[in-house]
Chain A
Amino acid sequence: MSGRTNGTRKDIKMFKFKMLAAVAAMFMLSACADQAAVPAGGATAVAPGSIADFRQNVGDRVFFDTDQSSLRPDARTTLTRQAEWLKRYGNYQITVEGHADERGTREYNLALGDRRATAVRQFLVAQGVPAARLKTISYGKERPEVVGSDDGSWSRNRRGVSALQ
């Protein structure tokens, strides 16, 4: 099948790219070592109230157990932070995306993703984020974050993501 042949070629290309990147990274490391006196941080600082601030300093996603849509304690902690931030910065609309791992059937996982997105939305509303700012959408198992067929990948794909607009 031609698709797979292409895939293999792509892999080889990707491998070459990774090798180049690794070599480049080594040079950069040595370059950094030369400039250790220069204060770091300029490139990674994010403006408070920006989408990057929300993602990096608040956390835009929470994770779920297999076939569950109840919010775990770690998810509640993240969502409490999200609610505080969203109340402070009232100019964003939020679409909560619900996702499932690949270990379920397509239609059931659409419903499961919908349930997860709704659980996140309801928690944020209960924390005082106006309901009118929050929409939900389910992607079921169609949009995995991590491409892999193992427990680690699946646990990161069972997620609710608060996307800001």
Chain B
Amino acid sequence: MPRPTSRFRFLVAACAVAATSVFGIAPARAQLTIDMTRPNFEPVPIAIADFAGSDRVGAEIAQIIRNNLQNSGLFRVIPPAAVIEKNVNANAVPRHADWRGIGASGLVVGQVTATPGGIKVDFRLWDVVVGQQATGLSLNTQSAQWRRVAHIFSDAIYKRVTGEEGYFDTRVAYVSETGPLNRRVKRIALMDQDGANNRYLTDGAGLALTPRFSPTLQEIVYMGYAEGPPRVYLQNVESNRRELLGNFPGMSFAPRFSPDGTKVAMSLSQDGNSSLYEMNVRGRSQRRLTNSPGIDTSPSYSADGTQIVFNSDRGGTQQLYVMGSGGGGEKRISFGDGRYATPVWSPRGDFIAFTKIAGGQFGIGVMRPDGSGERMLASGFLVEGPTWAPNGRVLMFFRQQPNAAGRAGAVSLHAIDITGRFERQVPTPTDASDPAWSPLIPQ
């Protein structure tokens, strides 16, 4: 597996300032924890003081952490105006009672210090209910990496409070859409999970659709229109080097990486019939996975790589099927009213997310891999294309408004947690569709 480039490498100087075992037995600890799988949980009230330091980076880092935690729906960030002290001393024990007094269960403090090579950033999460430090982290990095520091700290806080891995230090590839609907320019864009650092990976000369991240993070696959039939391309997101993934006579589309990044499953069309194939990314060997007269598309591997869920109309309408990752043993798993499409297996393995079309509406839902426990999370005129955050607790998808008076309806990205309680729009500089969430960026 290729290593991440040094630009994204961190020197973790003094990790684990962290929690002592005292926390494991402290009875009041529940105040700063949350079980997000339980219905009707209360968001954790948390105060985040501006990080101390000489310039405004400290304030910016604190604001990114506030946005991340608030947007997760699991935290209630106490407005900065209510925070009692400015420039809280990151090394002193806070006056816990004062912070409890403004309703906080947790307090985040930190500081930014200039170093010869860049900056050193420290943070501590205090459990002000029990009056103890809950976790902390210290990072040395290049000055330009301060946004990533804020995301890594957000992940550490999220993990300490929820017991789940975070998902803030991630990126999202998506289709940027501009221009009138009948001549839409669609290019692949890449941004941080919170919308920062947006850039474009394709030039817009040909349509580019359905980006998907490799687990190695350096590569995406997508479907693009150039000369000849539209085909699947593999592109390095750092060097922008692009190559055709297999030279097939017909259209190739709907690519998705295996969990280990060594293979890509996709649809190939031959004489109007779309079937699933698997291609080895490096050796370029291929094998056929399905052979039905129906449309077989949108394959997605299970987290352990042993199974593939896909979309087929072999039974008359679009439904979801699961088979072994080598093909064979196809079994239908969707049985509700309507058509089911774009299945995506959670990286945790516990759910399959999908798009459902029923009663003139589109919906985003989840079901267990055996098809049981179907639950709809979002619906609308058009919602489509779920993608999982790496912790399997949050989905992103796109939402399109109806077109009216010859004008394209707005298309935008949205994130929602798997309880369906918190949906929010993800900011993008242009209209946007087809999000693809990256794994956590290696540190």
List the interface of chain A (C-beta within 8 A of B): 1, 3-4, 7, 11, 67, 69, 102-108, 110-112, 114-115, 117-119, 122, 136-139, 142-149, 153
Chain B 283-310 interface mask (CB, 8 Å, partner A; 1/0): 0000000000001011000000000000
Across the A-B interface, give the 7 residue pairs with the lowest CB-CB distance, nearest first: A118-B272, A149-B402, A105-B341, A111-B274, A111-B295, A107-B254, A147-B181
> Does B229 belong to the interface (CB within 8 Å)?
yes
A149's nearest neighbour on chain B, judged by CB, is B402
By a CB distance below 8 angstroms, the chain A residues around B298 are 105, 107-108
A119's nearest neighbour on chain B, judged by CB, is B272
> Does B135 belong to the interface (CB within 8 Å)?
no
Number of A-B residue pairs at CB separation under 8 A? 112
Task: Pick the contact of A105: B180, B182, B207, B355 (CB < 8 A).
Answer: B355
List the interface of chain B (C-beta within 8 A of A): 180-184, 186, 207, 209-210, 223, 229-230, 250-251, 253-254, 267, 269, 271-274, 295, 297-298, 311, 313, 317-318, 341-342, 355, 357, 381-382, 384-385, 400, 402-410, 430-431, 433-434
Task: Pick the contact of B406: A67, A103, A115, A148 (CB < 8 A).
Answer: A148
By a CB distance below 8 angstroms, the chain B residues around A102 are 382, 400, 403
Q: Check B342 against A11 for contact (C-beta < 8 Å).
A: no
Q: Check B430 against A110 for contact (C-beta < 8 Å).
A: no
The smallest beta-carbon distance between A157 and chain B, in angstroms, is: 9
Q: Check A118 against B271 for contact (C-beta < 8 Å).
A: yes
Task: Pick the contact of B311: A103, A107, A139, A144 (CB < 8 A).
Answer: A107
By a CB distance below 8 angstroms, the chain A residues around B404 are 148-149
A103's nearest neighbour on chain B, judged by CB, is B357
Q: Check B210 against A108 for contact (C-beta < 8 Å).
A: no
By a CB distance below 8 angstroms, the chain B residues around A104 are 341, 357
B186's nearest neighbour on chain A, judged by CB, is A142
Q: Check B269 against A3 for contact (C-beta < 8 Å).
A: no
Task: Pick the contact of A117: B272, B355, B407 (CB < 8 A).
Answer: B272
Q: Check A108 against B230 for contact (C-beta < 8 Å).
A: no
A7's nearest neighbour on chain B, judged by CB, is B407
The smallest beta-carbon distance between A72 and chain B, in angstroms, is: 17
A-B contact pairs, 18 of them (CB 8 A): A3-B431, A69-B272, A103-B357, A105-B342, A107-B341, A107-B342, A110-B223, A110-B230, A110-B251, A111-B253, A111-B267, A114-B250, A137-B251, A139-B207, A143-B182, A145-B182, A149-B409, A153-B403
Assuming A148-B403, A153-B403, is B181 touching A108 (CB within 8 A)?
no
Assuming A105-B341, A105-B355, is B253 touching A110 (CB within 8 A)?
yes
Cα separation A39 to B183 with both chains bound (whole Å): 37
Q: Check B274 against A114 for contact (C-beta < 8 Å).
A: yes
Cα separation A46 to B407 with both chains bound (whole Å): 32
Cα separation A108 to B294 with both chains bound (whole Å): 11
The smallest beta-carbon distance between B409 and chain A, in angstroms, is: 7
Q: Check B342 against A114 for contact (C-beta < 8 Å).
A: no
Assuming A118-B271, A142-B186, is B385 touching A106 (CB within 8 A)?
yes
Cα separation A11 to B384 with both chains bound (whole Å): 28
By a CB distance below 8 angstroms, the chain A residues around B295 are 108, 111-112, 115
Q: Check B381 against A149 for contact (C-beta < 8 Å).
A: yes
By a CB distance below 8 angstroms, the chain B residues around A4 are 410
By a CB distance below 8 angstroms, the chain A residues around B274 are 111, 114-115
The smallest beta-carbon distance between B91 and chain A, in angstroms, is: 43
By a CB distance below 8 angstroms, the chain A residues around B341 are 104-105, 107-108
By a CB distance below 8 angstroms, the chain A residues around B297 are 107-108, 110-111
Q: Check B385 against A105 for contact (C-beta < 8 Å).
A: yes
Cα separation A67 to B357 with both chains bound (whole Å): 12
Cα separation A7 to B183 with both chains bound (whole Å): 15
Q: Check B357 against A147 for contact (C-beta < 8 Å).
A: no
By a CB distance below 8 angstroms, the chain A residues around B311 are 105, 107-108
By a CB distance below 8 angstroms, the chain B residues around A147 are 180-182, 403, 406-408
A4's nearest neighbour on chain B, judged by CB, is B410
